[in-house]
Structure 1
Amino acid sequence: MVRQIVLDTETTGLDPASGDRVIEVAAIELYNFMPTGQTFHVLIDPERDIPEDATRIHGFTAEMLRGKPIFAGIAHELIAFLRDSEIIAHNAPFDFGFLDAEFLRCGHPKLDRARMVDSLDIAKRRYPGMPNSLDALCRRLGVDNSMRTSHNALLDVKLLAEVFLQLMGGKQPGLDLAAAPIRVAGPALVLEDAAPAARIPRPILPSEAELAVHAAFVEKKLKDALWLQPPFAAPAAEAG
C-alpha cells in the first residue's frame, strides 16, 4: 500500500534564512490515493514577532500564538507522523525549506528531497499557461473552497488533498467496490468473495442474404481461397 502525506505550513514570512519561522503545520494521511481520516495539526509559537503583511494572509498574530508549543516541542511528533512517506505540498520547495530550517534548528536532519511531490508542478504540467494557485485549481476541478477566506494550513491541506486526488485521477463517485469486502494481505489489497461479472453470450448470426453476398465477394476477389480447398471446404452434396 502506498502511503502519502499531504502537508501545508503557515509562516511568519517568506524566507527562513532571514529568520522567518513556521507557525502552523497541518497534514493528512493518504493510502493508495484515499484519505484515511488520520490528520496532524498544530499551532506553533514562532518565538518572534509576526509582520502585519503575514497576518493579513493567514490571520495569526504573535499574541494569538503565545503559549503554544515551540517547534522543538512538536518535532518528534511531526516526524513520527510523516514517517518515510512521500510528502505532497503545493509549491513544495517552500514548505520543505521552512521545515528543513526548523528541523536543523532543533537537531534533526533535513527532509529527503526524494520524498517531495510538488502538486503545483503537477498542475503546471497538466494546465500549462493557466493559473494554478490552490484557489484556481479548486474552481477548475469543482472543489468547494467557499469557506476559504484566509490562508489556514488545516483548511488548505484538506482542499489540497481533494485537488491532488483529482489531479492524479483518484477516487471518483460511482467507482466504489462496496459489494466486495476488502482485507489487507501484506502489501496488496485483496477483494474477498468478489464474484466475477456474469457474461452473456451474444452470437452474431448473418442472414442468408449476407452469406450470399459474402460468398460472391470471396469468389470474385479471392482466387483459390484456402478455406474453400480440401480438406477445409464442406463436401459437396451427393446426388439423389
Structure 2
Amino acid sequence: MTRQIVLDTETTGLNPASGDRIIEVAGVELFNRRLTGKHYHAYLNPDRASHPDALKVHGLTEEFLADKPRFEQIADDLLEFVRDAEIIIHNAPFDCAFLDAELERLSRPAFKDHVAQITDTLVMAKSQFPGKFNNLDALCKRFGIDNAHRTLHGALLDAELLAEVYLSLTRGQDSLVIDLETPQQQLNVTAHALDGFDLPVAAASTEEMAAHESFLRLLDKKSNGKSIWRPRPDQEDAR
C-alpha cells in the first residue's frame, strides 16, 4: 500500500533565488492509486508583488493575498500532510526549489528530507512522449482528461488534474488487480498446465495470402525496399 501526494504550487515569479515566493500550495492524497478525498490547500501572503507575467497565469492579486497566512504559519501543517509520502510533481525541480527556499528561511531541512521520494511527471511524460508538448494542458488533452474549467492556473485544481494524468501515465505498470483496494478483493489466480490443450491453427486462405502479398509489395514501395517485413537475402538461408 503506497501513500502518494500530488503537489503543486503557484509563485510570484520564476526565481526563488531573487526573492520570489510561494503564494499557493496544494496537495491531494492518493492511496493504493485511488484519490482518498483528503487534500491540503493554502493561499499565502508573500509580502511582495507578483511579476506581471506570473499574475496573468494565476490571477492572485496582492489585495487577495494580503490577509492570508505567511509560509511560516502553515509550514508544520504542510510538512505533516506530506510526511513520508511519495510526492508527485510536474517539473519537480521548480516547485522543490521554492519549497526549499521557504524552508531554508525557517532553518528547516530541504523538502526532500521530509518525504519518502519525489517523482517528476514531466520526466515521465518526456520519456513516453519524446518531442511532444508535455505541459499539463497537453497531457490532459492527450489522455482525454477534462480541463475546460482551467482558465487560470490554481494549485489545487492543477494537483487534481495532475493526479489523473499520473494515473494515466502509469496505467499498466502494475498488476491487473491494481485498482482493487484490499487483499480480500483481489483475484485468486490458479496456474494450469497448458500441454494438455489442443489449440487449433487456422491456415490463411489463398485470397488472404494474395492480399497479404499485395500489402507487402505496397510496404516495399513506400519504404524504397527497406521494409523489415520481408527477410533480407542474407537471411534466406537461415529460414
User: If the length of structure 1 is used for normalisation, what is the TM-score?
Assistant: 0.73
Question: After superposition, what is the alpha-carbon deviation per residue over 1:155-179, rounded to whole angstroms, capped at 9, x for unaligned?
Answer: 11100000000000079xx97978x
Shift of 1:149: 0.5
Conserved 8 A contact 2:7-2:26: yes
Greater CA radius of gyration, 1 or 2?
1
- Alignment of 1:85 with 2:85, yes or no, is yes
- Counterpart amino acid of residue 6 in structure 1: V
Equivalent in the alignment of 2:104: 104
- Counterpart amino acid of residue 191 in structure 1: Q
Conserved 8 A contact 1:24-1:153: yes
Superposition CA RMSD, Å:
2.8
When you count helix as a share of all residues, which structure comes out higher?
2
Unaligned runs of 5+ in 2: 201-239
Unaligned runs of 5+ in 1: 183-188, 207-240
Question: After superposition, what is the alpha-carbon deviation per residue over 1:52-86, rounded to whole angstroms, capped at 9, x for unaligned?
Answer: 22111101111110110000000000000000112
Correspondence list, 1:83-162, <5 A: 83-112=83-112, 115-162=117-164
- Counterpart amino acid of residue 143 in structure 1: I
Conserved 8 A contact 1:12-1:21: yes
Aligned partners of 1:59 and 1:37: how far apart in 2?
A: 26
Match of 2:183 among 176, 184, 190: 190
- Alignment of 1:53 with 2:61, yes or no, is no
Aligned partners of 1:193 and 1:156: how far apart in 2?
A: 32
Tell me the percent identity: 51
User: If the length of structure 2 is used for normalisation, what is the TM-score?
Assistant: 0.73
User: How many aligned residue pairs are there?
Assistant: 193
Equivalent in the alignment of 2:10: 10
**Structure 1 stretches (4+) deviating beyond 3 angstroms?**
174-178, 192-197, 202-206
Equivalent in the alignment of 1:238: none
Conserved 8 A contact 1:6-1:157: yes
Conserved 8 A contact 1:26-1:42: yes
Conserved 8 A contact 1:33-1:170: no
Conserved 8 A contact 1:22-1:44: yes
Aligned partners of 1:162 and 1:5: how far apart in 2?
A: 12
Shift of 1:107: 2.2
Shift of 1:87: 1.0
